[in-house]
């Protein structure tokens, strides 16, 4: 996958209001909800982009947003997950779905904004992003973005050279001719192609094939919920991908998870059958883990703050500097018992750009790398000491041994390593290439290391 995944479609803000009900209203026989907490999460095409950003080094969302609080919340949520947003002007209000719940029981849903058709012309950056995409996913929610003639023309211009997945909506337009795979669900296929009658695989395959021919898609993959998916092509036998059994869970957002993973697997060169099998398994796991609700952020922390990091502002800092045309520098490590060699490296790194973000190994990852006796200093304290240095602008903790996933969110222009790493194969360089980042080496200070400090302290003790 040489370019970013570009997601095109209608973004929504999903808002959950959780509360307690213990009385009826005196003016009407309706329950009174005493609000206890609230959560927000990306919805619609924004959900598809946020999910893909956990798996891809670069994701761009082309959508329509109004100039309102909901749009600002969405931008913050997506920035926290490393998604670049290119917005068309949306008249009216940014769509919101507000769900009121008590315990696990829904009381009602309130929909706001998002009148279909009130979408402005796309900026030139939107068409350029599609042209440079490594894959395109159209996540249509029937609110006007997928109807934009310039965007449809741009997508039509790349379908013959990059994988293109179109997740349609009953109120939306037909997919652009030539897309790699269209992914309607079973109910949508039956509504669009009611003949032939029947619920068996042969009838479902016949309807999907008729729809494929009408749309001019290379393939139609009909999603069937807990029964998996059915992939159909012209002149080939239908391929049935069964879903693993899932008990409980939440299916909200499963279609977005399926489509986003399918687009990524196709972009990595998987055959259609393998990509569909993988996407079914991925969507099933997503449902089991709680669905879209697992992405919810408590109201007031929508900036994407990470547990264990003072402020957790690294992603926001990086995005703001990149938008202003500045240079983002990042470096990483355990930084257990901070010493003069660390400070020298950090100061040298800061001189290479406008901000320096430190990617800090979590306590668990330090133990895996250094052994059960490490770290000496817990991650919260290590982060606090690093944050106090004048050369450090933000600190982000990551749980893996190496920070590729975090770098995909930060997207730094420069990744800094000490000179002792020169000549080694660096796992970070694989993801840096996704957005044109580069690695720089700064001089290594001989004779200074945390291990040596620990050994000397033990000897003198």
Per-residue pLDDT of 147-161, as tens digits, reads: 999 999 999 999 999
Cα–Cα distance for residue pair 149/396, rounded to 1 Å: 41
- Output the DSSP codes for 218-277: SEEEEE-GGG-EEEEETTS--EEEPPPP--S---TTHHHHHHHHHHHHHHTT--HHHHHH
Residues listed for the chain = 461
Cα–Cα distance for residue pair 8/130, rounded to 1 Å: 9
Q: CA nearest 182: which of 150, 207, 157?
A: 207
Domains defined for the chain, CATH in brackets: 5-298 (3.40.1190.20), 314-460 (3.40.50.620)
Tokens 């059958």, residue? 273
Q: How far apart are the first and last CA of the chain?
A: 54
- Output the DSSP codes for 371-438: -TT--SS-HHHHHHHHHTSTT--EEEEESSSS-HHHHHHH--SEEEEEGGGTTSPPTHHHHHTTTT-E
- Known catalytic residues are 256
Q: Helix 69-80 and helix 314-323: axis angle, to 10°?
A: 110
In the numeric block, which tokens belong to residue 362? 């979590």
291 DSSP 8-state letter? G
In the numeric block, which tokens belong to residue 301? 């922390």
385-397 pLDDT, tens digit each: 898 888 998 899 8
Strands 164-167 and 181-182: parallel
Say if CB 384 and CB 392 are below 8 A apart: no
Give the pLDDT of residue 1.
64
Tokens 């013959």, residue? 160
Give the pLDDT of residue 306.
34
Query: pLDDT 10s digit of each residue in the chain, 461 long?
Result: 678 999 999 999 999 888 899 999 999 889 999 988 888 889 999 999 999 988 888 899 999 998 888 888 888 888 888 899 999 999 888 999 999 988 878 899 999 887 766 788 899 999 999 999 999 999 999 999 999 999 999 999 999 999 999 999 999 999 999 999 999 999 999 888 887 877 788 888 899 999 999 999 999 999 999 999 999 998 888 899 998 888 777 888 899 999 999 999 999 999 999 999 999 999 998 888 888 877 765 443 333 333 333 334 688 788 778 877 889 999 999 998 888 888 989 999 999 999 999 999 988 888 888 887 788 888 888 888 898 888 998 899 888 888 888 888 888 999 999 877 787 878 888 888 878 899 999 987 655 555 555 444 444 55
Say if CB 194 and CB 166 are below 8 A apart: no
Secondary element (H or E) of residue 182: strand 181-182
Cα–Cα distance for residue pair 438/301, rounded to 1 Å: 31
Give the pLDDT of residue 194.
84
Cα–Cα distance for residue pair 65/251, rounded to 1 Å: 26
- pTM across the whole model: 0.65
Report, in this order, helix, strand and coil percent for the chain, each rounded to 5. 35, 25, 40
Is the bond into 310 cis (omega within 30 degrees of 0)? no
Tokens 């959508």, residue? 63
Q: Is 74 helix (H, G, I), strand (E, B) or coil?
A: helix
In the numeric block, which tokens belong to residue 31? 């329950």
Cα–Cα distance for residue pair 26/359, rounded to 1 Å: 55
Give the pLDDT of residue 63.
95
């Amino acid at each position: 996958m040489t370019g970013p995944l570009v997601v095109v479609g209608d973004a929504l803000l999903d808002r959950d209001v959780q509360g307690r009900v213990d009385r009826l209203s005196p003016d009407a026989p309706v329950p009174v909800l005493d609000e206890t907490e609230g959560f927000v999460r990306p919805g619609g095409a924004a959900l598809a982009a946020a999910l893909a950003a956990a798996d891809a080094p670069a994701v761009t969302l082309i959508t329509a947003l109004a100039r309102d609080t909901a749009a600002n919340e969405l931008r913050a949520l997506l920035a926290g997950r490393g998604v670049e947003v290119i917005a068309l002007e949306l008249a009216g209000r940014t769509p919101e779905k507000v769900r009121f719940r008590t315990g696990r029981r829904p009381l009602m849903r309130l929909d706001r904004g998002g009148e279909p058709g009130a979408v402005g012309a796309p900026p030139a950056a939107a068409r350029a992003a599609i042209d440079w995409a490594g894959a395109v996913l159209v996540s249509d929610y029937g609110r006007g973005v997928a109807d934009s003639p310039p965007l449809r023309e741009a997508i039509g211009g790349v379908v013959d050279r990059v994988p293109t997945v179109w997740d349609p909506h009953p109120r939306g337009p037909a997919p652009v001719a030539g897309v790699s795979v269209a992914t309607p669900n079973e109910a949508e296929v039956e509504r669009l192609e009611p003949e032939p009658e029947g619920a068996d695989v042969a009838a479902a395959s016949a309807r999907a094939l008729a729809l494929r021919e009408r749309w001019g898609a290379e393939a139609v993959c009909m999603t069937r919920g807990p029964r998996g998916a059915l992939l159909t092509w012209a002149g080939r036998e239908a391929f049935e991908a069964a879903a693993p059994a899932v008990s409980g869970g939440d299916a909200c957002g499963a279609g977005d998870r399926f489509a986003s993973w399918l687009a990524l697997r196709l972009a990595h060169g998987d055959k259609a059958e393998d990509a569909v099998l993988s996407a079914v398994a991925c969507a099933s796991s997503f449902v089991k883990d709680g669905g879209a609700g697992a992405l919810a952020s408590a109201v007031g922390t929508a900036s994407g703050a990470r547990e264990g990091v003072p402020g957790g502002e690294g992603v926001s800092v990086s995005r703001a500097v990149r938008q202003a045309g500045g240079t983002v520098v990042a470096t990483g490590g355990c930084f257990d018992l901070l010493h003069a060699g660390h400070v020298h490296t950090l100061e040298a790194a800061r001189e290479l750009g406008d901000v320096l973000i430190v990617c800090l190994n979590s306590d668990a990852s330090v133990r895996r790398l250094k052994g059960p006796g490490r770290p000496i200093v817990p991650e919260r304290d290590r982060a606090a000491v690093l944050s106090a240095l004048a050369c450090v602008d933000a600190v982000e903790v990551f749980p893996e041994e190496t920070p590729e996933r975090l770098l995909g969110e930060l997207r730094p222009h420069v990744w800094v390593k000490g000179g002792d790493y020169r000549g080694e194969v660096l796992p970070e360089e694989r993801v840096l290439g996704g957005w044109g980042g580069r690695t720089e080496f700064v001089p290594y200070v001989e004779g200074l290391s945390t291990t040596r400090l620990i050994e000397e302290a033990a000897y003198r003790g």
